[in-house]
């Protein structure tokens, strides 16, 4: 609750009534949860007397814009209490995320025993592995708005504007309880010794570091990158929680298949040899890839007016997804056969004659 009091004082000194009102309501909510309902009621009565607007519905909705393009440089996502965020996590990853959320939720207790209360999280790993989804998941778990920086409009063509935009983002996020999310973080946090970057972009990193230092003292920051090797060394020290989001292993792949295939009836069990074979085949692919393959298979099944989705359908869509250029029908038939698809089923899948398929597997001498 010390954090909320400091924010209220900052808002008063800066003549920012919205910041005062937002954090005063949050303070009342926290006092109520801790059992001090009398103090909570007094704060809420004072807010009602001043006809305060509900939290998140005033200043928070007026996103900052780039001076050059007048485009918003941030998007706002407000989680709904009953909204479900479907996500598949390994036990290790879930434990790390719970640790980060717990650090935020118990800031006062940690600070009382001398633990740094800062809450900053860096997510890194291959594209499509769910870093952005994790940021939304954390926001939902904490029921806090997610302020998402828009890198396409944040980085300006005008010298000096990018640093100004960065400052606007941090100031905007600090006015109310929320989580600031910087996706594609490497675009503004590249190493300052990169010889290919202009001096202006190096100054952007300096500005970014200064803003992070000020912001994380009492706010929540999440950043994500696909290219952690590009980040400036000083950036890493600004995050007290760092998590690698790796590609799913076989157990997670099976859970992803259940999630993504749930809209369609299957003519086989995922908890079977065929399901295990699919999970082994898809291991090493990102959740985004697996989702695309499943959705492509479902879409084609609906277009073909099939009542259920088959193991063969999924194998076919996997092959098409992994071979974007026109692959030979012979290579495709060989692939399907290697995964146990019968010659008759191959002919049906590829809309070709059974004789042509048999000739491929049994060429005449």
Given 3.40.630.30, 3.40.50.300, 3.40.640.10, 3.10.100.10, which CATH number is that of 58-244? 3.40.50.300
In this structure, are residues 249 and 283 in contact, taking their beta carbons and an 8 Å threshold?
Answer: yes
CA distance 33 to 153: 40
- Tell me phi and psi for residue 221, to 5 degrees: -130, 130
Per the DSSP assignment, residues forming a β-bridge with 179 are 146, 220
Torsional class of 259: left (φ above 0), alpha (ψ -120 to 50), beta (otherwise): alpha
Q: Dihedral sign, CA of 195, 196, 201, 205? A: negative
Extents of the domains making up the chain:
1-51, 58-244, 250-361
Phi, psi dihedrals of residue 171, rounded to the nearest 5°: -65, -40
Q: Specify the long-range contacts of residues 188-192, CB closer than 8 Å, at least 24 apart.
A: 188/151, 188/154, 188/155, 188/162, 189/223, 189/225, 189/230, 189/231, 189/232, 189/235, 190/230, 190/231, 190/232, 191/230, 191/231, 191/232, 191/233, 192/232
Closest C-alpha to 119, from 97, 137, 134: 97
Interatomic CA distance for residues 155 and 150, integer angstroms:
9
Given a cut of 50, is residue 158 above it in pLDDT?
yes
- The gap from C-alpha 42 to its chain's centroid, in whole angstroms, comes to 38
Question: What is the pLDDT confidence band of residue 53, given thresholds at 50, 70 and 90?
Answer: very low
Percentage, residues of the chain above pLDDT 70? 87
> Is pLDDT of 55 > 50?
no
Q: Could you tell me which residues are beta bridge partners of residue 27?
A: none
Q: Please check the confidence at residue 168 and state whether its pLDDT lies above 80.
A: yes
Span 16-48, pLDDT tens digits: 676 777 777 777 777 777 777 777 777 777 766
If you classify domain 250-361 with CATH, what class do you get?
mainly alpha
């Amino acid at each position: 609750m010390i954090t909320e009091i400091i924010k209220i004082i900052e808002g008063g000194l800066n003549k920012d009534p919205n910041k005062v009102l937002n954090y005063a309501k949050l303070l009342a909510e926290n006092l109520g949860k801790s059992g001090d309902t009398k103090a909570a009621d007094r704060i809420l009565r004072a807010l009602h007397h001043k006809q305060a607007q509900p939290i998140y519905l005033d200043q928070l909705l007026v996103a900052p814009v780039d001076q050059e393009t007048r485009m918003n440089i941030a998007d706002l996502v407000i989680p709904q209490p009953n909204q479900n965020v479907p996500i598949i996590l390994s036990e290790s990853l879930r434990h790390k995320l719970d640790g980060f959320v717990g650090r935020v939720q118990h800031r006062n207790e940690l600070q009382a025993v001398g633990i740094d209360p800062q809450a900053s999280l860096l997510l890194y790993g291959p594209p499509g592995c769910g870093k952005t989804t994790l940021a939304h998941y954390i926001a939902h778990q904490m029921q806090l708005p997610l302020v998402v920086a828009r890198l396409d409009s944040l980085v300006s063509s005008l010298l000096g504007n990018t640093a100004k935009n960065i400052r606007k983002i941090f100031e905007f996020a600090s006015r109310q309880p929320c989580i600031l999310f910087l996706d594609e973080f490497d675009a503004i946090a590249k190493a300052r010794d990169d010889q290919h970057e202009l001096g202006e972009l190096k100054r952007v990193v300096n500005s970014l570091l200064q803003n992070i230092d000020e912001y994380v003292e009492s706010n929540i920051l999440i950043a994500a990158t696909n290219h952690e090797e590009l980040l400036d060394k000083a950036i890493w020290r600004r995050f007290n929680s760092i998590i690698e989001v790796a590609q799913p292993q076989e157990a997670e792949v099976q859970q992803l298949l259940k999630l993504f295939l749930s809209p369609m009836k299957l003519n086989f069990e995922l908890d079977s040899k065929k399901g295990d074979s699919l999970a082994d085949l898809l291991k090493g692919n990102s959740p985004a890839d697996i989702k695309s393959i499943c959705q492509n298979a479902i879409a084609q099944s609906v277009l073909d007016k099939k009542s259920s989705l088959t193991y063969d359908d999924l194998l076919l869509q996997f092959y098409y997804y992994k071979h974007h250029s026109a692959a030979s029908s012979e290579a495709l038939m060989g692939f399907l056969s290697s995964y146990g698809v019968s010659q008759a089923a191959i002919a049906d899948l590829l809309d070709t004659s059974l004789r042509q398929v048999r000739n491929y597997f049994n060429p005449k001498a």
